[in-house]
């Protein structure tokens, strides 16, 4: 599993090679609106998160779909010491994301267990 900070470089290299339209089309094919959430409907990883595979530097790399979206929205690499929280509590949503520390992520998880069914 590649580091999440590596996504930025991979996306940039795709866009630099003129692959932006193809990338957008691929994202559109693999997402669907459900109310306010943009849900990943493409391939999934074993842990239930969406998966996006890229060929970069001659090798295949797999990233979490939400980490790719978080990188695109941030326009900067996601630091490897931060985690991506799903504000809407749906791990397949690629829209309602925020960067949090490990500790914050665990606290949010506990909090939502009590407040969200």
Number of neighbouring beta carbons within 10 Å of residue 103: 9
Which CB atom, from 44 or from 96, has the smaller least distance to Zn ion? 96
CB 94 within 8 A of CB 85: no
Which CB atom, from 11 or from 37, has the smaller least distance to Zn ion? 37
When asked if residue 88 is in the footprint of Zn ion (CB under 5 A), the reply is yes
Which CB atom, from 10 or from 93, has the smaller least distance to Zn ion? 93
- The whole-angstrom separation of Cα 103 and Cα 30 is 31
- Choosing from 96, 104, 105, 112, the residue that interacts with Zn ion (CB under 5 A) is 96
Q: 18-39 burial, b if ≥16 CB within 10 A, otherwise e? A: eeeeebeeebeebbeeeeebbb
Which CB atom, from 6 or from 37, has the smaller least distance to Zn ion? 37
Exposed, middle or buried: residue 65 (CB in 10 Å: 0-12, 13-18, 19+)? buried
Task: Find the shortest distance in angstroms from Cβ 61 to Zn ion.
Answer: 25
- Choosing from 6, 7, 27, 37, the residue that interacts with Zn ion (CB under 5 A) is 37
Task: Find the shortest distance in angstroms from Cβ 58 to Zn ion.
Answer: 35
Residues that bind Zn ion (CB under 5 A): 37, 88, 93, 96
């Amino acid at each position: 599993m590649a580091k999440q900070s590596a996504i930025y470089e991979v996306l940039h290299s795709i866009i630099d090679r003129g692959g932006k339209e193809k990338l957008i089309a691929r994202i559109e094919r693999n997402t669907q609106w459900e109310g306010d959430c943009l849900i990943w409907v493409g391939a999934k990883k074993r842990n239930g998160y969406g998966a996006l595979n890229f060929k970069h530097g001659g090798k295949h790399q797999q990233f979490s779909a939400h980490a790719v979206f978080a990188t695109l929205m941030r326009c900067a690499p996601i630091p490897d010491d931060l985690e991506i929280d799903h504000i809407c509590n749906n791990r397949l949503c690629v829209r309602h994301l925020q960067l949090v520390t490990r500790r914050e992520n665990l606290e949010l998880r506990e909090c939502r267990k009590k407040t969200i069914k």
